Amino acid sequence: MARRILKFSILGLLSKQDMSGYDITIEFTKAIGQFWSAKHSQIYVELKKLLDEDSISQYIEMAGVKLEKKMYCLTTKGKEELQKWVLELDDSVETEKDIFALKLYFLKDIPKQEIHSLFNNQLQLREKKLFNLQKQFSFLFGNQQNPIYLDSEELGHYLVLTKAISREENYISWLNGSLDLIKKAEDSLT
């Protein structure tokens, strides 16, 4: 059965606090963006569905003198749906969409003189991403390596962020190892 994961992502965000559609969109560019993405247009379509299903409700909040913001909050039904979903055991392992890896699968079609530049570009991108993740970790948690004292919301964020950091560190290590292997292959052919 196909699940509307975006639905549960939004319900989860609203379980933290009431938010506007804009606030929800911003959250998808922050921490959630490390493991799930959604476009602005998808979020608003999903919000409409959730309103129609009575999983969320909305109210108007005044921001300043004249600006009205539509705020969304969980209903009892939405809380129950979220609780059921987070407790549901999942027997699937997601496949990461990785354009670089897909290109490498067709390595024979990449001109030999371009392989190093592709890898170096990917290394730069991954190192920048790792730097930003480490900066975010430092901002949120300092040098805290002992998550025992984190509340459940902080602990969840801590775990997701350390997973993302580990993923990037491993990817960089794999890229460097692959470049070494390519260099050895080139040396053996000369």
CA distance 105 to 97: 13
**Domain 5-87 is of which CATH architecture?**
Orthogonal Bundle (1.10)
> What is the structure's pLDDT at 45?
95
Strands 67-74 and 56-63: antiparallel
Which pLDDT value is given to residue 126?
95
Answer yes or no: pTM beyond 0.75: no
38 close to 13: Cβ distance less than 8 angstroms: no
Domain parsing of the chain, residue ranges = 5-87, 99-189
Q: What is the pLDDT of residue 42?
A: 92
**Integer Cα distance of 131 and 125 in angstroms:** 10
Distances (CA, A) of 169 to 9, 11, 36, 135: 26, 31, 19, 14
Mean pLDDT (10-residue bins), the chain, 190 residues: 79 94 89 80 94 96 84 96 89 78 87 90 95 88 70 82 92 95 82
Name residue 152's amino acid. S
State the pLDDT at residue 2: 47
- Give pLDDT, residue 142: 80
